[in-house]
């Protein structure tokens, strides 16, 4: 029999299909953002074992890191486990515990591994403290821990994908998030899973550096950031319509539009390697392609012409790409 006092949880990674970046301030405060994303079956996991004292013991298995403190309040927001510690302090459990985490969301992939870890930490600690948790509240807590406590310039689309699951239409109005789970036809979901292809390029992205570069140019007002943001938002809005109508050729074309606008945000979003993956994909059966996350590396997602996915996989593998098979996660963060 399992020990019912031990809690376990998982939160999924995500693919951002359209509008990514418009969820970040100050754009979402001044113009409102819109993002289409989908949670996928790669997860951050957490196990919480209660203790009889106030001590907090942390083990990040995949990072090979561990840390302990005499209490939750005594955790310092530094080091490799800073995000996990910030999330714990946001929730504020009053009893001691051991928290073990690991993730199969590939680090540096642009699939939101850090947000998944943050959300699963907030959810399991809230369940431990209060006996229940709310998915949207866990997303907000994780975002505040990263943005306000660690001073990382970030939006909320990653956290909401991890928390809510499914394919989502997300509107960002300042600090508020309006989350609509996309009620797509079954055949649309099946066709997306059949023809979408996710490939890791072998180069990790550097989201933090890119985000700071974009913010600096946005505030300076002399570059193409605002034009890019407006274009990305429009892509997200049009993508919602295409998916609702089951028009996946239009969806694929919008992936291309998203990549075109993405490159206007900052030169560091683009690399020769990423463009080679994009061009090779479009020449070998992909109708649309875009980089996942902030860019500079990570994964590329493709929508293949029907029955062209196997040849597309071979062409991208020849470049050194690593195919990441996936399906959509329909549950979001769960604790058991």
Whichever domain contains 93, its CATH number is: 3.30.230.10
On whether both 19 and 160 belong to a single domain, the answer is yes
Residue 32 lies in a domain: yes
Closest residue by Cα to residue 260 from 282, 283, 287, 232: 232
Residue 140 lies in a domain: yes
On whether both 271 and 174 belong to a single domain, the answer is no
On whether both 171 and 238 belong to a single domain, the answer is no
On whether both 43 and 94 belong to a single domain, the answer is yes
Residue 2 lies in a domain: no
Residue 237 lies in a domain: yes
On whether both 27 and 133 belong to a single domain, the answer is yes
Long-range contacts of 72-76 (CB under 8 A, 24+ apart): none
pLDDT of residue 210: 72
On whether both 126 and 159 belong to a single domain, the answer is yes
Domain coverage including residue 34 = 7-183+330-335
Stretches in the chain below the pLDDT threshold 70: 1-4, 205-209
On whether both 29 and 167 belong to a single domain, the answer is yes
On whether both 13 and 113 belong to a single domain, the answer is yes
pLDDT of residue 1: 38
Q: What is the pTM of this model?
A: 0.95
Residue 13 lies in a domain: yes
On whether both 39 and 171 belong to a single domain, the answer is yes
On whether both 170 and 214 belong to a single domain, the answer is no
Residue 15 lies in a domain: yes
CATH number at residue 291: 3.30.70.890
Residues labelled catalytic: 158
On whether both 205 and 309 belong to a single domain, the answer is yes
On whether both 111 and 213 belong to a single domain, the answer is no
Residue 94 lies in a domain: yes
Residue 1 lies in a domain: no
């Amino acid at each position: 029999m399992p020990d019912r006092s031990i809690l376990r949880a998982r939160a999924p990674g995500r693919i951002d299909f359209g509008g990514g970046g418009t969820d970040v301030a100050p754009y979402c405060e001044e113009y409102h953002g819109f993002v289409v994303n989908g949670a996928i079956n790669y997860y951050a996991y957490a196990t919480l074992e209660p203790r009889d004292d106030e001590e907090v013991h942390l083990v990040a298995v995949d990072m090979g890191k561990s840390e302990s403190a005499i209490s939750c309040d005594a955790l310092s927001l530094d080091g490799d486990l800073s995000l996990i510690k910030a999330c714990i302090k946001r929730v504020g459990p009053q009893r001691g515990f051991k928290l073990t985490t690991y993730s199969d969301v590939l680090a540096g992939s642009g699939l939101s591994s850090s947000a998944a870890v943050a959300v699963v930490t907030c959810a399991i600690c809230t369940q431990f403290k209060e006996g229940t948790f709310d998915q949207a509240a866990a997303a907000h807590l994780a975002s505040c821990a990263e943005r306000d406590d660690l001073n990382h310039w970030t939006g909320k689309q990653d956290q909401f994908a991890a928390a809510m699951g499914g394919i989502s239409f997300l509107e960002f109005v300042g600090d508020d998030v309006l989350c609509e789970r996309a009620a797509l036809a079954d055949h649309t979901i099946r066709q997306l899973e059949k023809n979408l292809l996710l490939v890791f390029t072998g180069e990790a992205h550097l989201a933090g550096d890119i985000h700071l570069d974009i913010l600096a140019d946005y505030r300076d007002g002399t570059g193409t950031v605002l034009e890019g943001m407006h274009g990305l938002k429009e892509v997200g809005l049009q993508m919602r319509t295409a998916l609702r109508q089951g028009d996946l050729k239009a969806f694929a074309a919008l992936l291309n539009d998203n990549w075109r606008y993405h490159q206007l945000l900052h030169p560091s979003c683009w690399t020769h390697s990423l463009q080679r993956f994009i061009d090779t994909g479009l020449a070998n059966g992909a109708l649309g392609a875009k980089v996942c996350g902030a860019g500079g590396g990570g994964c590329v997602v493709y929508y293949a012409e029907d029955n062209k996915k196997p040849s597309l996989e071979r062409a991208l593998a020849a470049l050194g790409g690593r195919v990441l098979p996936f399906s959509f996660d329909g549950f979001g963060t769960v604790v058991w």
